[in-house]
Amino acid sequence: MTPVRPKFTDPPLIERAISVVFEPLSDFSIGDYGLFWADIRSEFPTCEAMEPISFEREEFDGFRPKSSGIQVVSAKMPPRVAFRNSATGELVQVQNDRFGFNWIKTGDDHKYPHSEATLDRFFELLNRFIKYCDGRGLGPMQIIQCELTNVNIVLVSDVGETFADMATVFKLAPLEYKCDDILLEHQLVGSKHLILDDEKKPIGRVHTLGQPSLKVPTNEEAYRLDILARGAPFESSIDGARRFFDAAVSAVNAVFLASTTVAGRRFWGELNG
């Protein structure tokens, strides 16, 4: 697949979430959360229990096996635990069938480290989790799906005065009508793209959702564009997952470029457009 790797001096990306779903580790217990935390606590000093993240498999007729998507969660243990470093904006999430890593922007001077760095960090932490599971006799880990999400936020005040001005940076349908008695207040935009391999077979999908939002914690009016790539690894292994994520990054970037205007990309300082 052709790599798509645009570079920006000030991209609107505020969060990247990377995760793998694997066959449930049946012997993973409540104590494993604490034991694994001991391995990474120097880098992730706080933890909290959360609701589980559900699993929705991407399906393709004749190409991927179908799944009901039904998930059974034991009431005997916290379904998901998050380990957080608020200073670096890094977050690790663990449940008995999922491992995830998030990079979260903590301030205007916190620069996104780009795709290669976030993927390398994800696989570094995933390998440490796999090593822990192997040491406890919980493996082997069979990866069945990979997910990558980019969250983009653009302030209304950066591009104009109302949500209608978002059309200067995003390719939105022209719903504004030249009439003094109406003003566009809300516009929800969604799309779905197939990710194709070199033989033009589907290996995943990119789901896009754009909508008005508020930037936390300032509650400034903003527009939020979420782009999620999801699909099965090329093989149920680390190498197979890495190959899918390389393709997923290109797909997410291509959808972002297709969703934004030339003026918007100039505003964010595109370096190789």
**Which is it for the CA torsion 201, 203, 204, 206, positive or negative?**
negative
How far apart CA 210 and CA 149 sit, in angstroms, is 13
How far apart CA 147 and CA 18 sit, in angstroms, is 6
Question: Which pair of structure tokens corresponds to residue 30?
Answer: 């409540």
Question: Which pair of structure tokens corresponds to residue 197?
Answer: 């391999």
In this prediction, residues 2-22 reach a mean pLDDT of 94
**pLDDT in the model for residue 15:** 97
**pLDDT in the model for residue 86:** 94
Question: Which pair of structure tokens corresponds to residue 83?
Answer: 């380990």
Angle (CA) 195-198-199 rounded to 5° is 95
User: What confidence tier does 239 reach under pLDDT thresholds 50, 70, 90?
Assistant: very high
**pLDDT in the model for residue 68:** 42
User: What confidence tier does 217 reach under pLDDT thresholds 50, 70, 90?
Assistant: confident
Over the stretch 50-71, which tens digit does the pLDDT of each residue have? 998 888 888 876 555 444 444 4
How far apart CA 220 and CA 118 sit, in angstroms, is 28
Q: Which helix (H) or strand (E) holds 63?
A: none
Distances (CA, A) of 52 to 34, 72, 96, 241: 17, 10, 10, 22
Report the mean per-residue pLDDT for the chain.
88
pLDDT at 177 over 60: no
DSSP string, 174-233: ----S-TT-------EEEEEEEE-TTS-EEEEEEEEEEEEEETTTTEEEEEEEEEEEE--
Phi, psi for residue 255 in degrees, rounded to 5 = -65, -40
In this prediction, residues 100-104 reach a mean pLDDT of 98
Q: Which helix (H) or strand (E) holds 106?
A: none
Helices (H) and strands (E) in the chain, counts: 5, 9
Over the stretch 256-270, which tens digit does the pLDDT of each residue have? 999 999 999 999 999
For 164, residues 6+ apart whose C-beta sits below 8 A from its C-beta are 176, 183, 184
Cα-to-chain-centroid distance, residue 118: 11
pLDDT at 79 over 90: no
Over the stretch 123-146, which tens digit does the pLDDT of each residue have? 999 999 999 999 999 978 999 999
**Which is it for the CA torsion 130, 143, 14, 71, positive or negative?**
negative
User: What confidence tier does 25 reach under pLDDT thresholds 50, 70, 90?
Assistant: very high
C-beta separation of 255 from 206 below 8 A: yes
**pLDDT in the model for residue 66:** 45
**pLDDT in the model for residue 187:** 73
**pLDDT in the model for residue 214:** 87
Q: Which of 259, 256, 265 is nearest to 173 (CA)?
A: 259
Could you tell me the pTM of the whole model? 0.89
In this prediction, residues 195-199 reach a mean pLDDT of 90
